[in-house]
Amino acid sequence: MRVEDLRPLALLDGLDDDQVGQLVSDGEEMPIVPGSDLFHEGEHADSWWVLVDGALDLVRAVGGEETVVRRMDTPGQWAGGFRAWDESGVYLATGRGAVPGRMLRVPAEALRDRLQEWFPFGVHLIAGLYATARSIESTVRQRQSLVTLGTLAAGFAHELNNPAAAATRSVDALDAVCSSLPASLRRLADGDLTPEHFAQLDELRLQVAPRTSKPDPIRLADDEEELTTWLERHGVERAWTIAAPLASAGVDVAWCERAAELLVGPTLEPGLAWVASTLSTGALIEEVREATRRISELVAAVKSYTQLDRAAMQPLDVTEGLESTLVMLGHKLRGGITVVREYDAALPRVEGYAGELNQVWTNLVDNAVDAMDGEGTLRVVTRREPNAVVVEIGDTGTGMPPEVVARAFEAFYTTKDVGKGTGLGLDIARRIVVERHRGELEIDSAPGRTVMRVRLPC
C-alpha cells in the first residue's frame, strides 16, 4: 500500500503526506476476496478497515439468518476500529468480500495513538458522542419496539377476542339447543305422531330456505311478533321460545299453517319446538364456523405479517404484506376511518425482506391514522411503473408544512406530543426502503392531504 493509493480518498482530506504515510506504515494492505470474511460480527473491533477499491458486504445475523445490511462500494468508506475510542467496541456486522479489491487495515491501538497525536480534543468528543448516542438510540429503539409490540398485541387480542367470544356464546347456546332436541322428540312420540307425518314434517323443515343475509332487526321483530300471535292462538304455551328461532330462520305463518295440518292436537307444540331446535342448531353451527374461520384468518395474517416461516430475502407479494398490516392495525381503523384500497391486480413480485417491509407499512399506516385524529380516509394504492412497484399510503389529515417535510426523515425528529412518538418511525422506514431495498421513499404533502410514496425495484 502506497501513500498515492490513499490520496484520492476524501476521508483523508486534511492530512498531509507524512500523516497518511504514518497510517500506511501502521497498517497493512488486505485483499478483498468475494465470499471471504475480513472481520466478524460481535468480535472486538480491534482493526480499522478503510476501503481502497472493490466492494464489501456488511452482513448481520437476523432471525437466525444472515442478512446484508449495507454494501461498502465507495472508496474511503470505513468500518470497525471502535476500540480506538471505546474499549468495549465490537464489530456491528461481518465484513464479507463482494467485489475483488483492497482495504487498508489499521490496528485500533495505532489509530488511537494517531488520533490522540493529531486531534486530542476530537478524540474526547468522539468518545463522548459515541457513548451518548449509543445509549440514547438503544434506549429509544427498545422503547419504540416495546410500544409497537404492545400496541399490536393489544390490537390483535381485541380482534381475536370478538370471534372467540362469539364462538363461545354459540357453543353455549348450541349445548342448550341440543339438550332440548331429545325432549321434543320424546313429546312427539308420546303424542302418537306417525312416522309418515314425521317424515312429512322433516320435508317441510327442509323447505325452509336459509337467509342469505342478516335480517333487518325491525322486520325480524315484526316477524317474531306475528309468529308469537299465531302460536298463542293455536294453544302453544311457550310461544316466545319457539317464535324467535323460527323467525330468525325465515319461517312465516303460511309455513306454520302447513305444519299444523300434520301436527294435530298435542303434537303441534313439540313438533314446532323440534323444528325450531334443528333450525337453531344449523344457525349456531354456522356462527361457530364463521367465528373459527375469522380466528384462522387472523392467525394467518399474523403469520404473514411476521414472516416467521419464510427466508429473509424472497420474492414477495406487496399486496399481501399491506393486507396483513391492515389486519394487524384493524383496531385503529374503525370509527371515523374509511379505508380505500386501490390494488393493481397484475402487480409483479419484488425481491425483498418481507418482515422489514411490513414494518415500513406499519409505520406509514400508523402515522397516517394519527394524522387524521380518528376521522378521515386512508388510501392504500399499489401500481406498476417501469422497473418499479409503487406503494402509496395517503391520508386526509392536516398535511405537513414544508419545514416538517424537510426534516421528516431525521432520526429522533417528531411533531407528536411527548410520550406519543420517538421520531424513529420514518427514519427506520427510509433505511429499510433505501438502504436495504435500494428503493425510494418520498413525501407528497399539501393541506388536507399527505401521500407517502414507496418505490421498490422489480
Beta strands in 63-192 (DSSP E): 65-72, 78-80, 94-107
Between CA 431 and CA 357 the distance in angstroms is 11
Evaluate whether residue 146 is within a structural domain. Answer: no
| Same domain (yes/no): 209, 178 | yes
| Same domain (yes/no): 211, 318 | no
| Span 267-285, pLDDT tens digits | 888 888 888 888 888 888 8
Evaluate whether residue 145 is within a structural domain. Answer: no
| Same domain (yes/no): 272, 353 | no
Per-residue confidence (pLDDT) for residue 310, from 0 to 100: 52
Between CA 188 and CA 277 the distance in angstroms is 14
CATH of the domain at 420: 3.30.565.10
| Same domain (yes/no): 94, 54 | yes
For residue 41, pLDDT over 60 is answered with yes
Between CA 409 and CA 418 the distance in angstroms is 18
Boundaries of domain holding 256? 160-295
Between CA 435 and CA 409 the distance in angstroms is 13
Confidence of residue 427 (pLDDT cuts 50, 70, 90): confident
Confidence of residue 70 (pLDDT cuts 50, 70, 90): confident
| Same domain (yes/no): 316, 445 | yes
Evaluate whether residue 48 is within a structural domain. Answer: yes
| Same domain (yes/no): 434, 397 | yes
For residue 419, pLDDT over 50 is answered with no
Evaluate whether residue 306 is within a structural domain. Answer: no
Per-residue confidence (pLDDT) for residue 431, from 0 to 100: 83
Q: What is the DSSP letter of 434?
A: I
**How many of the other CB atoms lie within 10 Å of CB of 376?**
20
| Same domain (yes/no): 329, 435 | yes
Evaluate whether residue 255 is within a structural domain. Answer: yes
Q: How many domains does the chain have?
A: 3
CATH of the domain at 10: 2.60.120.10
| Same domain (yes/no): 289, 317 | no
